[in-house]
A = this chain, B = another copy of it.
Amino acid sequence: MELRIKLLKWWSTGFPVAILNEKTAEEIGVRPSDRISIRTFSTRPTEITTIIDTAKGVVRKNEIAVSHELKQRLGLKSGQKVNINLAESPKSLESIKKKLNKKTLSEKEILEIIDDVVNNSLAESEIALFISAMHKNGMNLEEITFLIKAILKTGNKLKLKDKFVIDKHSIGGVAGNRTTPIVVSICAAAGGLVFPKTSSRAITSAAGTADVIEMIANVEFSIKQIKKILKKTKACMVWGGALGMVPADSKIIRIEKSLGIDPQSQLLASIMAKKLAVGSKYILIDIPYGKSAKANKQQAIQLKHKFEKLGKFFKVKLKCILTDGSQPIGNGVGPALELTDVIKVLKNEQGLPKDLEKKSLFLAGEIFEMIGKSKKGKGIQLAKEILSSGKAFEKFKKIIEAQGGDLNRIKLAKLSHVVVSKKSGKIKEIDNKKINFLARITGCPLDKSAGLFIHSHVNEKVKKGKPLLTIYSESEQRLNQAVKFYQDKKPIKI
């Protein structure tokens, strides 16, 4: 059926929107949630299959209303004629059900699924089915390699020809833990390597590295712009999402987080695909484990083995290190407060968070040993030298400058509340999950100035009446909600 395009003049950030008049839908024989194909009439027609909604009003019988996203993807103009047809369920849905029934998928089947995720031919509920199938029945290592290849095939790549392209990644789950800017700065300051660090934004945690850096610099660049930055500084700290390198992964992760499920096969594929897309040849993976971390020790060891096998398969040098993830690292939680921690370490300031410094030096040292810049056991020493010489801080400033940034943009929220200890004693436990959620309540990660300052760590002594935690927020309502949450859930135990 031939219909005219009506542009909705808005950009749906959630999902592509295509709306038919109810009468038109009846004529074609589609119902809400059915699929249609939209095909242009040009000499080189473009086509997309998408889920439809129907409406009374908004569109005339001879029209199809599309959101800005669909307009862009098909290059549509208002009033343009397109051909609309009822589309069948994609073959990939059959493969998803196959996985749900514990069958092994072929490379072709996995590629079809990932293709359809990117093309929006699978509805969110169908992607949820895929996630649930991976969650229940897992994937074998070969299937995971297929998944990684498919994610890479459907995205952009950063092609770097340098010999030492290095990268680090943490599987996450530990509050604070902002080692990346420190490790990147130390390594890049050492010279002889390239560190194209792409990071995520927080989805369920208080901040991702991209959220943190965004407080003082741009993090959204094109691939071309990143190559320019790398030419200048040999390192960057940008948001991976802007680069379209792993669009399938981005979409799957968004649904995964909303469901609160994180299948291991997807976690492995997600991290590997991101690292391979930037062309990393040396990869260090940090797996924090412990109570309230993402993994317990046994799961951490299992992940390590699988990552190492995947590294071999994709012919990159990959090392996994298991670290203590039983409590937050650093004092700050939230973009501004984590950034303050990072700068204290880089500037070697009074009261810097020792745990964050120690872990960052360890990670940088591991990287130096991996690429042969230090002999075995001597990496930390080199990292220490570079950090204390001030070269790492110089490099950090250069990277921020190259990303159009300014260190003076750090700003803490105007309201705060100090939680004091009700008794004297030793701190027994600080729960990562509760701390992360508490920081979310204060407004993180979107409100970058909000967050928490943890005054003491596990095993440290506190005195009655002394500060345990300072809560920062721009909104009184949020601050009160946070204080109430603290009192109810007691994330810090003495």
Q: Which residues of A contact B (CB under 8 A)?
A: 8-15, 19, 22, 26-27, 29, 31-34, 52-58, 67-68, 89, 93, 97, 100, 123-129, 132-133, 135-136, 254-255, 258-261, 440, 443-444, 446-447
Contacts and interface: CB of A to CB of B under 8 A. Distances in A.
A135 B32 contact: no
15 contacts: A9-B57, A10-B19, A11-B55, A12-B32, A12-B53, A13-B22, A13-B56, A14-B32, A33-B254, A33-B258, A123-B124, A124-B124, A126-B258, A126-B259, A132-B132
State the oligomeric state as a number of copies. 2
Nearest to A254: B33
Given A13-B31, A33-B255, A129-B261, 4 more contacts: A8-B58, A11-B55, A14-B32, A89-B258
Interface of A is mostly: mixed
A53 B259 contact: no
Contact of A447 (B29, B53, B54): B29
A68 B58 CA distance: 11
A127 B124 CA distance: 11
Nearest to A124: B125
A93 B56 contact: no
A473 to B, nearest CB: 11
Contact of A260 (B13, B97, B124): B97
A108 to B, nearest CB: 20
A446 B23 CA distance: 11
Contact of A56 (B11, B53, B254): B11
Contact of A14 (B12, B29, B54): B54
A15 B127 CA distance: 18
